[in-house]
Every structure is written in C-alpha cells, then in structure tokens.
Amino acid sequence: MVFPSNSGYIHVMKSIEFYSDFRTFLADFYAEKKKALSGFSYRSFCIKAGLNSPSIYKEVVGGKRNLTLSTISAFVKGLGLSERDGRFFENLVLFNQAKQEETKQKYLAILRGLRYRKPQKNIPFHMYDYYEKWYNPVIRELAVAFDWNEDYAKLARAVVPAIKLSEARDSVHMQLRLGFLVKDAGGKYRQAAPDITTGAEVNSLAVRNTNREFARLGVESIDRFAPSQRDVSSLVMGIPQSKLPILKQEIAEFRKRLVAIAGSDEPTDAIYTLVLEFFPVAQRARPKGENDEKVG
C-alpha cells in the first residue's frame, strides 16, 4: 500500500493479498500509517470510517473483538481500500472468524478466486493449489523419477489410480509456477523448495484435505493391491494421556527414519505414500452430567 509523506508518496507495506490474517494486516496498516502520518490515530481512523468507538480498532487487532458485516464495511472505508481490496478484506475477515471448517472452506475458495492480474511471486492463498488435489505430491515425485519426455499421457498413466492427461499437465504447470518444480536448461525436472508461504490456518485446512484423500486411497488400496505390494494394519492399545506426546514424537521419528532409508542413490521405480493414523477410539467414561442425554 502507498501512504503520503512529507516528501511525497512512499510504498510502506505489502499488499493485502499477501496476508492470511486480517488482524495482522490491521496491525501492520496502523504501524505504517503512523510512521507516514504523525496525526494518524485510532480516533482519526474511526472518524473517517464513521465509527463511534475509538477503541474498536485496537480491540479488533488484539483479538478482543470481532467484526460484523456493518463494521467490516466501515473498516474498508476507513482503510481507504479499493473495491477489489475491500472484497478481499471482507472475505478474509469472514474466513478468519468462521468457526466451522465447511464455512472456512467456502471463504477460502472466494479468497483464492480473487487473483490479481499483475504477476505476483508470493501469493499466500495460491499455495493451497498444491494441496487441493491428492495427486499433486505424486506428480512432483514422478516428474523427476523417470524420463517421460513431456508426454503428459504417460505421466498421467503412471499415477495410481490413473488421472487425466489434462490433470497431469495442469499439475506440472502449477508446480512450476509455484516453485515446487523447476526445469533446467536441458529440459530435466528437479524438485525445489517453494518460496511461497501461507498462514498456518490456510496451511492446516489444505493439509487436512490432502490427508482425507490419502486416507481414502489407503482404504481402496486394500482391494487394489496384493498384500505383497502394501502393508495395511491396525493396532489398538490402551495408553495414559501423559504418554501421548512421547508416542507422537516416536511416530515423527519413525517417518524421518523411513525418509532416510528411501533417500538412496538407487533409481526410483515406484512412488509410495505412507498414511499413519493415530487417534482415540474410546475414552474413559466421564461422570454423568446434567447435560447428558438420557438413554432408554
């Protein structure tokens, strides 16, 4: 965003589409506006926004207060946002304040659709594209595992279950755009760590979607593959809650050991996914309370 200064106009903070939390945006906006304009204050903002409470800005930033549809409109006015940025701000607020995951997904889809025409290197919500389809991580591995010579049909057939040619092509192009894959001068693909980041809340929603899909594929693998090609098992055990952090750490260390074993110099001829599911299936009965439904 651009703010006036004594010597003209200066760029002082990143654009709103780089934010995944509206409170962080508001905090940055206030700090930078205060630097640029000595007379700027919570009170002056509220006057411009048409709000009566001079403390509302500080309370919202501090998480002590949420915004309603009417106060969102007032904030858009006070912030001096364009129509497009105002829409982004409104949906970002609704996304952050939503309680149900289904509602969050709804506003996340809107935010991802508000793509700016000017090319951007780092667009937080677009990182979600990588996690949206379960086969994107598979394509990332396959693209460097064998010589497919830009034959997207061949790449698509290598996925199990097979995907469409268009899906394989779109996945590669998206990963090149986001930085998950890079193509060298010789036309070979290699993996790269993307420099695009997203907020923890967005990342969490995206990863949960991916985990759901891999869990579904895990169930289907029981019938799709012979026992010699898979390992599907279950373990039920009683534990004290105090040991839960230790067990989760052991699972994390186990994953690291598997990655180390797999990371050899031998050529890759298959792509596997490991889905570890560790969750409670029973808990000690709690005392009957007044709100418990009666059985019988």
Q: What is the pLDDT of residues 195-224, one digit of tens each?
A: 555 566 666 777 777 888 888 888 889 899
- Angle at the Cα of 137 from the Cα atoms of 161 and 91, rounded to 5 degrees: 110
Rounded average pLDDT over 120-141: 76
What are φ and ψ of residue 11, in 5° steps?
-85, 125
Rounded average pLDDT over 276-288: 72
Domain residues of the chain, as ranges? 2-114, 131-236
Res 256: pLDDT: 82
Fold of 131-236: Arc Repressor Mutant, subunit A (1.10.10)
Structure tokens at 185: 């001068």
Question: Which residues are registered as beta bridge partners of 254?
Answer: none
- The whole-angstrom separation of Cα 66 and Cα 26 is 13
Higher pLDDT, 158 or 11: 158
Res. 118 pLDDT band, cuts 50 70 90: very low
Res 157: pLDDT: 94
Across 140-154, 199-213, 222-236, which has the greatest mean pLDDT?
Answer: 140-154
- The whole-angstrom separation of Cα 24 and Cα 104 is 18
pLDDT tens digits along 57-114: 999 999 999 999 999 999 999 999 999 899 999 999 999 999 998 898 888 888 877 7
Q: Is the pTM for the entire model greater than 0.85? A: no
User: Other CB atoms closer than 10 Å to residue 123's CB: what's the count?
Assistant: 19
Give yes or no for residue 10 having a pLDDT over 50.
Answer: no
Q: How large a percentage of the chain has pLDDT more than 70?
A: 82
Lowest-pLDDT choice from 128-132, 175-179, 260-264: 260-264
Res 63: pLDDT: 94
> 3-class SS at 190?
strand
Res 72: pLDDT: 96
Q: What is the DSSP letter of 211?
A: H
CATH code linked to domain 2-114: 1.10.260
- Angle at the Cα of 266 from the Cα atoms of 218 and 165, rounded to 5 degrees: 50
DSSP letters spanning 70-117 = HHHHHHHHHHT--HHHHHHHHHHHHHHH--SHHHHHHHHHHHHH---S
Mean pLDDT score of the chain: 83
Q: Is the peptide bond prior to 227 cis by the omega test (within 30 degrees of 0)?
A: no
- Residues 71 and 46 sit within 8 Å (Cβ to Cβ): no
What are φ and ψ of residue 47, in 5° steps?
-65, -45
Q: DSSP H helical segments within the chain, as ranges? A: 22-36, 42-49, 56-61, 69-79, 83-97, 101-113, 128-132, 135-145, 152-158, 165-178, 200-224, 244-262
261's CB contacts (< 8 A; 6+ apart) are none
Across 5-9, 199-203, 212-216, 259-263, which has the greatest mean pLDDT?
Answer: 212-216
